[in-house]
Each structure stands twice: as C-alpha cells, then as structure tokens.
Amino acid sequence: MIIDTHAHVDMDAYDGDRAEVIQRARDNGVEYILNIGCDIDSSLRSMELAERYDFIYATAGVHPHDVKNIDNNTYDHLRGLLTHPKMIALGEIGLDFYKNYSPRDLQKEHFRKQAELACELNKPIIVHSRDANEEIVDILSDYYPKNPSARSGIFHCFSGNQELANRALEMGFYISFSGSVTFKKSDDLRTVAKMVPADRLFVETDCPFLAPVPRRGKRNEPAYVGHTAQLIADVRGLKIDDVQRTTTLNFFELFGIGKDVETGTVSYKIRNSLYLNLTTRCTADCSFCTRLTRPVVQGYNLQLDREPTADEVWASIDDCTKYDEIVFCGYGEPTLRLDVIKEVSKKIKAAGGKVRLNTNGHGNVINKRNILPELKGLIDSVSISLNADTAEAYDEIVRPLPGLRDGIYEKVKDFIEESKKYIPNVQATVVTHQDGVDESKCEDISKNDFDVDYRERRYNIVG
C-alpha cells in the first residue's frame, strides 16, 4: 500500500475518466490520496472528492500562481473549508519565481498570511517552492522555529538543493518527491533523495503533471506513484516495501490518518535482511539516537513491552536461508543479552543462515570478560560503532553511562582489534554529520590502525 500525498484529481484533465483514474489508483495499491487545492474553487472540488471517497483527503489553499485572484472573501472561504474534518492541511502555498504568474511581492504577502492562518488553525502546510529557496526559508523561519516539537508540513515536489532540504528538515518539514526525481537529468535531486531521513520522506505524483519514468510525457495519475517510490527505494538501497512502510507511517504521524505501527517488533525485514530486536536497553545515550523518544526504524516500532526470550526470537525467524543476513540490531545494545545472541545464532548457523551483530562495542565491558572467543563460529560479521576520532568527541556524542565512561573509547577500539581474531568480517561505523568528529580520521583509524572495513551512515537513512 502506498500514499499519493499530492494529487490534483479534481482538475479538468480528468473530466472524461475521473472515476476510472481513482479506481486505477486503488487497483495499484494506493491507500490514500491527498488532493490539493490551488484556489477556492479547486479546494471546494477537492473537498467534494474527499466527501465522495473515504480514501481521499483534501487541502485548501491558494497557490502562488493564483494569489493575484485573492479577494476580500478568500480568507473567510479558506477558514470555512478548513473546518471540514477531511480538509487536513493548508496548501498548496508558497513562492514560484520561475513562472511568476503572480507578482513576487504579492506571492510573498499571501504566503505569509496563509502560513499565519495555518499556525492559527494548527494545520500542516503544503509548500510549493520553485526558484525561491532563500525567500521561502526567510518567510517560513518567521513562523516555524528550528527543531519544533510538532511537524510543520510538506515541501512538495521538492526540487531544491541539499541546503534547502536541511533548512526544511530543521523547521520540522517533510520532503516529498514527485516524478521529477525519476528524470534522467535529476542526478542532484536523487542525491538529496538519498539523504532525507526515513521519518521525513514522502512520495507524490503532483498529477496530472510530471509523470514519472516510464510514463514521462503522458498525463500523470495517482496509480503511477509507485514508480517514484521504486526510484527512491533504488537510490536508498532499499526495497519498495520499505519506502511504502515508512511513508505510510509518516502520513499517519503528520495527519493522524491510517494507523500507527504496533510496538513489540521482534524481527523486522529491511531490504533482503532480517533484523532482530533483543532489547531497548543501552549502555550509551547517543546524541542523535531516538531510542527513548521514537524507537522507529523504517516504519517499524521497536519499542518492547518486555524483552523476547531466545525461543521467541528464534520463532520470529521464518527462514534463515532466504535472507542475505540476519542481524542482531534494534534500538538497544544486543550484547546486553549475550546468552540470547549465542543461543539464537547457533540455531541460525545450523539452519544455514548468515549472522551479523551490530554493536556499540561495549560488549566486553558489559559482560566483564572478553566475549569474542564465545562468538567464534556463531557470528559472520560485526559492525562496531566507532563514531569518533578522539575520546573527547566520543564521550560527547555517544554519552556512555556514567559508570562506564572510564577509558571507554580505548575499550571500543580494543573490541575492534579483538574482533578480528574471532569474526571473519569486521566493520567500524560512523554516524556522519556529528559536531567535533573528523570523519576522514575515523576512516584512517579503521583502515590503517585496524585494517577493517569502514562505513559511514547518516542517521535514520537505512536504519
């Protein structure tokens, strides 16, 4: 199931076959359509669609192209429309300095006014931004603070650069990609699509415009949103299921529509790997980690009401050989449950599976002994979070529990060195974009001091 978060099915492009287009969307697994208003008339038509179809929701707003037609009654109309329970956002609003169909000053004035209205009504906004990166941020930053507690809305049909994406994310916005991300010349956009955190990502059609490859040039429709989702999955090294799951959860989190994910996930599939969630306890409190606030990865909620037993973990694995690897991971430190790792790995290996352990490298400190000889033959690869090039930076970022702090960075390095003796593949990892960390030095330490693989990952990209 997938969601088209930006469609204009009310437009006259569909006058001949609207019902068929909507049915085709359903037939192609589109779970919800958010139909977007561009002026009062189209907002009304969007509302009518939302009333007719239970899986269509709608928005009301005045597009920057159309602000020149705003009159004395427009804002009263908008307020009225937005009281409807299925009118879930204000938009699309913004700036379009590419087409300039309305004067720029007027665009700015009404972007501000509509943003103010959205804040007053407590509605997310749908932002249209074209060739106006600086001005958009300039205006939005007056209404949306950095790191807000609530999510602000969606930058739709994103076409900006990484800097604009970063600013939007800081202000609590989601980034939505349309079919334009599938176009041949969109390499820069694909680079941005790779970096947007999973919990801030959407896909859309913006139909009838911008049909994705392989439908490019044709009239677009919600049924084609899967092509864009597939492209996003490809650039992020994921499966389309992963993108569908995360964007569906994002829709729920932003608008409260659909359903929340269940807690208590013991095993979860991402790409061709199966991940095992043993615990949410940890001996660190990494500054970037959402273990305590939002333990969700790729649309799976890893919060546990209680820790699973070894038997329960084993029972959650359907087939050891069908996965590239089976990974002890989760939002917590697996070596806190060393016995379970050993018992389950043994069974996975006997059943022909491959095992990886993702760890913060505190295993020997936690278990007060060198645990690595015990893992020999049970674990095929281990990924150890190095995360810093100095002990000071490590303490700042990883924030080990107080009783553990003494010399912990050196102990993690010792764990990497010791792992090489017992585990065939050892990898040191770094979560990128952390203050005070020289990533090239981390790479140097991993490759030259330890002669192990090195991997950088941006938090919340592939989990």
Binding site for Zn ion (CB under 5 A): 36, 92, 128, 206
Cα distances from 233 to residues 106, 230, 244, 381, in angstroms, run 39, 5, 9, 25
Neighbours of 150 (CB within 10 A): 9
Least CB distance to ligand SF4 at residue 442 (A)? 16
Min dist CB 332 to ligand SF4, Å, is 5
Which residue do the tokens 């608008």 mark?
255
Between 36 and 232, name the residue whose CB sits nearer to Zn ion: 36
Matching residue, tokens 């609530």: 150
Q: Which does 82 bind (CB under 5 to 8 A by kind): ligand SF4, Zn ion, none?
A: none
Residue placing its CB nearer to ligand SF4 in the complex, 271 or 291: 291
Nearer to Zn ion, 8 or 236 (CB): 8
Name every residue whose Cβ is closer than 8 Å to that of residue 222 and which is 6 or more positions away in sequence. 4, 7, 9, 21, 22, 24, 25, 28, 30, 33, 205, 207
Q: Please list, residue by residue across 263-299, b when 16 or more beta carbons sit within 10 angstroms of its beta carbon and e when fewer do.
A: eebbbbbbbebbbbbbbbebbbebeebebeeebbbbb
Minimum CB distance to Zn ion smaller for 128 or for 337: 128
Beta bridge partners of residue 34, listed in sequence order: 57
| Residue 433 · residue 287 · CB < 8 Å | no
Type of residue found at 83: T
The closest of 153, 162, 151, 149 to 128, measured between CA atoms, is 153
User: Cβ contacts of residue 360 below 8 Å, gap of 6+?
Assistant: 282, 283, 284, 333, 384, 385, 398, 412
What's 448's DSSP letter? I
Q: In this complex, which beta carbon is closest to ligand SF4, that of residue 40 or of residue 388?
A: 388
* Minimal distance, residue 125 CB to Zn ion, in Å: 12
Q: Which is nearer to ligand SF4, 28 or 364 (CB)?
A: 364
- Binding pattern for the stretch 377-396 against ligand SF4, x by CB under 6 A and - elsewhere: --------x-----------
Give the Cα separation of 189 and 184 in Å (integer): 11
Of the two residues 94 and 463, which places its CB atom closer to Zn ion in the complex?
94
Q: Measure Cα distances from 255 to 199, 232, 321, 421 in Å.
A: 14, 22, 39, 51
For the chain, the 3-state helix, strand and coil shares in percent, each to the nearest 5, are 40, 20, 40
CB of 330 to ligand SF4, least distance (A): 7
Nearer to ligand SF4 among residue 62 and residue 289 (C-beta)? 289
> Minimum Å distance from CB 63 to Zn ion?
7
Sheet order of strands, 2-7 included: 2-7, 30-35, 56-60, 87-96, 125-130, 153-155, 173-177, 201-203
Nearer to Zn ion, 95 or 344 (CB): 95
Partner in contact with 128, chosen from ligand SF4, Zn ion, none, beta carbon below 5 to 8 Å by kind = Zn ion
CB of 117 to ligand SF4, least distance (A): 39
Tell me how far apart the alpha carbons of residues 400 and 406 are, in angstroms, rounded to a whole number.
9
Residues 295-354 binding ligand SF4 (CB under 6 A) are: 331-333
Q: Nearest distance from residue 192's CB to Zn ion, in Å?
A: 17
Among 12, 20, 138, 285, binds ligand SF4 (CB under 6 A): 285
Of residues 205, 360, 429, 434, which one binds ligand SF4 by CB under 6 A?
A: 360
Q: Find which of ligand SF4, Zn ion, none residue 291 binds, CB within 5 to 8 Å per kind.
A: ligand SF4
Q: What is the nearest approach in angstroms of ligand SF4 to the Cβ of residue 359?
A: 8
Task: Give the number of residues in contact with ligand SF4, rule: CB under 6 A.
Answer: 11
Least gap, CB of 61 to Zn ion (angstroms): 10
d(CA 387, CA 360): 9
- Measured from the CB atom, the residue of 152 and 277 that comes closer to ligand SF4 is 277
Place of tokens 């330890």: 450
289 binds ligand SF4 per the rule CB under 6 A? yes
CB of 272 to ligand SF4, least distance (A): 23
* Residue 154: DSSP 8-state: E
Interacting residues toward ligand SF4 by CB under 6 A: 282, 284-286, 289, 291, 331-333, 360, 385
